[in-house]
Chain A
Amino acid sequence: GENVEQHPSTLSVQEGDSAVIKCTYSDSASNYFPWYKQELGKRPQLIIDIRSNVGEKKDQRIAVTLNKTAKHFSLHITETQPEDSAVYFCAASGDSGYALNFGKGTSLLVTP
Chain B
Amino acid sequence: EAGVAQSPRYKIIEKRQSVAFWCNPISGHATLYWYQQILGQGPKLLIQFQNNGVVDDSQLPKDRFSAERLKGVDSTLKIQPAKLEDSAVYLCASTNLLEAVNEQFFGPGTRLTVL
Binding site for B on A (CB under 8 A): 4, 6, 34, 36, 42-46, 49, 89, 91, 95-97, 99-105
A42 and B108 in contact, given A96-B101, A99-B48 (Cβ under 8 angstroms): yes
Cβ-defined contact, A89 with B103, below 8 A: no
Q: Inside 8 A of A43's CB, which chain B residues have their CB?
A: 91, 106-109
Check B61 for interface membership: any CB of A closer than 8 A. Answer: no
Interface bits B30-74 vs A (CB < 8 Å: 1, else 0): 010100000011111100100000001000000000000000000
Check B87 for interface membership: any CB of A closer than 8 A. Answer: no
Cβ-defined contact, A105 with B45, below 8 A: no
Please give me the 9 A-B residue pairs with the lowest Cβ-Cβ distance, nearest first.
Answer: A102-B42, A96-B102, A99-B45, A43-B106, A97-B97, A97-B102, A89-B42, A44-B106, A99-B48
Check B75 for interface membership: any CB of A closer than 8 A. Answer: no
Assembled-state Cα–Cα distance A24/B6 (Å): 32
Check B104 for interface membership: any CB of A closer than 8 A. Answer: yes
- Look across to chain B and name the residue whose beta carbon is closest to the beta carbon of A4: B42
| Interface residues of A, dominant DSSP | strand
Q: Inside 8 A of B48's CB, which chain A residues have their CB?
A: 99
- Tell me the residues in window 70-112 of chain B with beta carbons closer than 8 Å to chain A beta carbons: 91, 95, 97, 101-104, 106-109
- Look across to chain B and name the residue whose beta carbon is closest to the beta carbon of A96: B102
A105 and B91 in contact, given A43-B108, A96-B101 (Cβ under 8 angstroms): no
| Most B CB within 10 A of own CB, among A6, A49, A89, A102 | A102
Q: Inside 8 A of B45's CB, which chain A residues have their CB?
A: 99-101
Chosen A-B contacts, 16 in total, with CB atoms closer than 8 Å, are: A4-B42, A36-B106, A43-B106, A43-B107, A43-B108, A49-B103, A91-B42, A99-B56, A100-B43, A100-B45, A102-B42, A102-B44, A103-B42, A104-B40, A104-B42, A105-B40
> What's the nearest-Cβ distance from chain A to residue B3, in Å?
8
- Look across to chain A and name the residue whose beta carbon is closest to the beta carbon of B55: A99
Cβ-defined contact, A105 with B41, below 8 A: yes
- Option from B43, B56, B103 in Cβ contact (under 8 Å) with A102: B43
Assembled-state Cα–Cα distance A62/B52 (Å): 37
- Look across to chain A and name the residue whose beta carbon is closest to the beta carbon of B31: A97
